[in-house]
Amino acid sequence: MDLLLKLIVDESKWLTISLGLAFLFVLITHIKKRKTPLNDHKRYILALLNLCFAINIGFMGFGHLLAVTVKLFKGTLEGSTALFYLIGIVLVIPSWWLIYYSTLMLKPAHSSKKSLPLNIWVGVTLLVLGPYNFPLAAPAFLNIAYDLNKSKKIGWLIIILTICIYTALFIGSLIFFISGQSFEQFKGIE
């Protein structure tokens, strides 16, 4: 039980786990839906991009709330409990709504209109929490760019850039996972 609690409060593990879950969910969704006749491939790709981002941030936000709760009950939480819960909530709620709307986008006759404000909400929230969150927030803004884009070439460029960012995040998260250091410890912020 102590090992589980230690894992919960160790944020160096959450990014790797959340990205792994997001990649797995998107892959399974793609395998299930790839033969489904969708007239709008752009909406399908946007739904997958949204799912990857929202699952990653939603799961990390859930992990944050769980870690805050564990630290609160263990008496090791330093700082404002209300603020820490607020941070988790303002990330989790729009992320889970984005997951919901993105799964609807995989069905015919559902638009992507609701994903735009949710991507903005989560992306801006991450940036307000600190500029070092830019790599986590960037996919939200790329999702927005992809949604608003009309050019196929630009669309592919956005997809490739998003994949590169996720690859770099995942490799970086593996380094933190193996080292046991958090991003803040690695960069000397903490």
Specify the pLDDT at position 37: 61
**Three-state DSSP class for residue 77:** coil
**Residues of the chain with confidence (pLDDT) below 50:** none
Q: Judge contact between 144 and 116, C-beta under 8 A.
A: yes
The 3-class secondary structure across 103-161, one letter per residue, is HHHCCCCCCCCCHHHHHHHHHHHHHHCCHHHHHHHHHHHHHHHHHHCCCHHHHHHHHHH
CA distances from 154 to 36, 40, 131, 145 (A): 25, 17, 26, 9
Specify the pLDDT at position 85: 95
pTM of the model: 0.89
What six digits make up the tokens of 69?
């709760």
Specify the pLDDT at position 111: 72
